[in-house]
């Protein structure tokens, strides 16, 4: 009896896991992505350094961000308006699946800052109690799909710096448990610039 119960519970857990990681349809996502392409590029590799590269981003993270814009948990004049135009939750998943399926182009780092950035990314900064970025985003910057932690590798440094400053000021507050706000509050502008440059040059 106990063995049967264990099997049933395990099966239910697997089903729940499968549902929570259900994938959208990238083909449908591509059909819906024309508006996104104006800023983020047809394949998610934006040219403007102020707009994030979406190509290769973790699908779960993209879904969360789009839903946060739709619910006003994350606010940006352009993206909030665009996200509100997405017709359904399913369309959000399709868009996320499309951009997640694309190949991110390599970023370019300022070589004069990467050494300092590497130390921060891999080891944090003991003197100011800054946590190592690699703890959540991985040693190669691919993030954590299950935890909805974003891929950072090859992202534009300008965009990364802007987001860190928004977290530091509290203007962006959609991070779980205030993790990013707590970390960014301890970072100087120099810290942010160095780690952003290092991240941009990361390769899987």
Check if the beta carbon of residue 26 is closer than 8 Å to that of residue 97. Answer: yes
Measured between alpha carbons, how far apart are the two ends of the chain, in Å? 47
Portion of the chain with pLDDT greater than 90, in percent: 87
65, 81, 169 from 101: Cα distances, Å: 17, 25, 33
Q: Work out the average pLDDT over 79-87.
A: 97
State residue 28's pLDDT score: 98
Which pLDDT band, with edges at 50, 70 and 90, does 203 fall under?
confident
pLDDT tens profile 143-200: 999 999 999 999 999 999 999 999 999 999 999 999 999 999 999 999 999 999 999 9
State residue 198's pLDDT score: 98
Check if the beta carbon of residue 144 is closer than 8 Å to that of residue 138. Answer: yes
CB atoms within 10 A of CB 143: 21
Check if the beta carbon of residue 148 is closer than 8 Å to that of residue 156. Answer: no
Cα distance between residue 135 and residue 123, in whole Å: 9
Query: What's the sign of the alpha-carbon dihedral 194, 195, 199, 200?
Result: negative
Residues 6 or more apart whose CB falls under 8 angstroms from that of 188 comprise none
Chain-centre distance of CA 173, in angstroms? 14
């Amino acid at each position: 009896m106990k063995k049967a119960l264990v099997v049933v519970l395990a099966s239910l857990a697997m089903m729940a896991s499968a549902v929570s990681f259900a994938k959208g349809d990238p083909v449908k996502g591509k059909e819906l992505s024309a508006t996104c392409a104006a800023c983020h590029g047809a394949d998610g590799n934006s040219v403007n350094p102020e707009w994030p590269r979406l190509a290769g981003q973790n699908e779960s993270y993209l879904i969360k961000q789009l839903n946060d814009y739709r619910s006003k948990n994350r606010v940006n004049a352009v993206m909030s308006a665009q996200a509100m135009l997405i017709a359904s939750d399913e369309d959000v998943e399709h868009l996320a699946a499309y951009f997640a399926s694309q190949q991110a182009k390599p970023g370019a780092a300022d070589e004069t800052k990467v050494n300092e950035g590497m130390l921060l990314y891999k080891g944090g900064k003991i003197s100011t109690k800054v946590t190592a970025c690699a703890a959540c985003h991985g040693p190669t910057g691919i993030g954590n799909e299950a935890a909805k932690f974003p891929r950072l590798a090859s992202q534009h440094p300008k965009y990364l710096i802007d987001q860190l400053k928004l977290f530091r000021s509290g203007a962006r507050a959609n991070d779980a448990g205030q993790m990013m706000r707590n970390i960014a509050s301890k970072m100087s502008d120099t810290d942010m610039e160095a780690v952003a440059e290092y991240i941009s040059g990361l390769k899987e």
